Amino acid sequence: MSAYRLLIANHAVEIGGAERVLLRFLERMDRGLFEPALACPHPGPLSEEAAKLGLRVHFGYPTPRLLEVRRKSLGNSRLSALAYPWDMARTVYGLARLLRAGGYDLVLTNSAKADIYGSIAARLAGIPVVWRLHDIVDSDAFSRLNIALFRFFATFFAARVLAVSGAVKEALVGRGVRGGKIAVVYNGIDIEALTRTAQREEARAEWDIEEDAPVAGLVGRLVDWKGPDRFLAAAAEVAMDIPQARFMLVGDAIFGEAGYVDELKEAAVRLGLAERTVFTGFREDALRIMSGLDVLVHASLLPDPLPTVLIEAMALGLPVVAADAGGVREIVREGSTGLVVPPGDVRAMREAMVELLSDPEEAARMGRAGRELAAERFDIDLQARSLEQELLAALPRGKRERGAEGQAAGES
């Protein structure tokens, strides 16, 4: 029997980066400590995976119209904005009733919207709420209203805020939230499982890439702020220095923006890269394909809170070239596990790619150092234990003591 009942609130049902991280934590969560359940709006891939892990799933949180709220606005129409208070109230009171009826001890919110409605519901139910904050709260990503809401609720409602990186923590502190209630718990990865996915020869053979060809790649969603156009521009210059080099873009556009990928393919043709560049499209086995690279390139133009793709590449033994913003320097040790370049600087990116692709021994040295660092800092079991300790710390002392006594009695 678990010592504490934990309700996780997440407004999305698709599986993005935050949801993948959540599922990895749930796989490792000590069920002797916590009995987790999930609250989300409706059935979807996330609820299916959570159910496979034994979680009870509650649907209807938040209400459908509340899902229209965006980081920069209150919805897609005037009706959505006018109905916002009503929809928020329905979600909050419904969730508070669920928390009381289910005897939950703690709420963990895992998305920006859930941070707000989950905080109010937890307060009404008389239990603490912990935020898992995946975003850098600044004007690049959020409206002034939403920034103000974050500051208010983080200050007066959240018992703890668990930031995915120091960069995320610093941004929230910069908005006036007390640093003492914010802890950094990195996203963890399964190093051993990731290593088992590595199939360098097979990954290259699928795309007819020679075993000795130097290959650099960008892995992730193909959206403009992640800089795939800058990657292609740098690749065109690399190809002039290293004629045998090949390039890969592993991933696809977000829903409704397929035209952007067509633009990238046209750019590759204009740059003379048509025969050198592979666009894989969306792949479930993206990590297996990544293992066929010699260098992983992260080209984001905006601060990335904690680019997990860099951790995954390092765990695979790849050196990285990374745009210097957000949480990048918490992952990459300059000159040791990879090279850091200014965001959007095509020339610097090209020079870093040439340096690593033209010196296999140095690249291999960085790859080994990166694998060691990934195992030391980002192992999923290590981070799961850290998350559990932060959740326990958010509970009232009396409840922690009673839970510990009950857990000990159950083990005896």
165/37 same-domain check:
yes
CA–CA distance, 313 with 215 (Å, rounded to integer): 14
363/219 same-domain check:
yes
pLDDT tens column, 34-83: 999 999 999 999 999 999 999 999 999 998 877 776 544 444 555 555 56
368/258 same-domain check:
yes
| Predicted pLDDT of residue 407 | 58
Residues 6+ apart with CB under 8 A from 143: 71, 72, 73
386/352 same-domain check:
no
pLDDT tens column, 198-231: 889 999 999 999 999 999 999 999 999 999 999 9
pLDDT tier at 385, thresholds 50, 70, 90: very high
Residue 102 has pLDDT above 70, yes or no: yes
Lowest-pLDDT choice from 75-79, 81-85, 253-257, 372-376: 75-79
The full length of the chain comes to 412
170/239 same-domain check:
no
Task: Output the six-digit token pair for 16.
Answer: 């993005």
Residue 150 has pLDDT above 60, yes or no: yes
Q: How many C-beta atoms lie closer than 10 Å to residue 255's C-beta? A: 7
103/40 same-domain check:
yes
Tally of structural domains, the chain: 2
396/364 same-domain check:
no
| DSSP conformational letter for 340 | E
Choice between 32 and 78, residue whose per-residue pLDDT is larger: 32
Task: Output the six-digit token pair for 409.
Answer: 């009695």
Please report, in angstroms and rounded to a whole number, the separation of the first and last CA atoms in the chain. Answer: 12
Residue 104 has pLDDT above 70, yes or no: yes
Percent of the chain with pLDDT over 90: 82
205/343 same-domain check:
yes
Residue 96 has pLDDT above 70, yes or no: yes
Residue 157, judged by CB atoms within 10 A of its CB (0-12, 13-18, 19+), counts as middle
Lowest-pLDDT choice from 72-81, 109-118, 280-289: 72-81
39/180 same-domain check:
yes
| Predicted pLDDT of residue 406 | 56
Choice between 356 and 75, residue whose per-residue pLDDT is larger: 356
383 by DSSP, 3-state: which? helix
Residue listed under structure tokens 């065109």: 236
Looking at 40-137, list the stretches that DSSP marks H as alpha helix, in order from N- to C-terminal side: 45-52, 78-101, 112-125
Residue 398, judged by CB atoms within 10 A of its CB (0-12, 13-18, 19+), counts as exposed
| Predicted pLDDT of residue 85 | 81
pLDDT tens column, 303-345: 999 999 999 999 999 999 999 999 999 999 999 999 999 999 9
CA–CA distance, 35 with 99 (Å, rounded to integer): 13
The boundaries of the domain holding residue 242 are: 191-377
CA–CA distance, 175 with 144 (Å, rounded to integer): 11
The sheet carrying 295-298 orders its strands as: 277-281, 246-250, 215-219, 295-298, 320-323, 338-341
Residues 325/304, Cβ–Cβ less than 8 Å = yes
372/231 same-domain check:
yes
Task: Output the six-digit token pair for 195.
Answer: 């290593």
Residue 383 has pLDDT above 80, yes or no: yes
Candidates 69, 65, 54; CA nearest to 111 is 69
pLDDT tier at 258, thresholds 50, 70, 90: confident
70/217 same-domain check:
no
Candidates 202, 206, 111, 199; CA nearest to 150 is 111
| Predicted pLDDT of residue 103 | 97
The sheet carrying 160-163 orders its strands as: 56-59, 34-40, 4-9, 106-109, 129-133, 160-163, 182-184
Residues 6+ apart with CB under 8 A from 118: 9, 95, 107, 109, 129
Kindly tell me the number of DSSP H helices and DSSP E strands found in the chain: 16, 13
| Predicted pLDDT of residue 73 | 47
Looking at 139-227, list the stretches that DSSP marks H as alpha helix, in order from N- to C-terminal side: 144-156, 166-174, 191-197, 200-206
Q: Report the mean per-residue pLDDT for the chain.
A: 92
pLDDT tier at 4, thresholds 50, 70, 90: very high
Residue 153, amino acid: F
**Tell me, what CATH number does 287's domain have?**
3.40.50.2000
| Predicted pLDDT of residue 365 | 98
Task: Output the six-digit token pair for 87.
Answer: 């929809």
Residue 242 has pLDDT above 60, yes or no: yes
Verdict on whether the full-model pTM lies above 0.75: yes
29/165 same-domain check:
yes
Candidates 109, 86, 119, 79; CA nearest to 7 is 109
Choice between 326 and 400, residue whose per-residue pLDDT is larger: 326
- Tell me how far apart the 2 most distant CA atoms of the chain are, in Å: 71
Torsion of CA 81, 82, 83, 88, to 10 degrees: 70
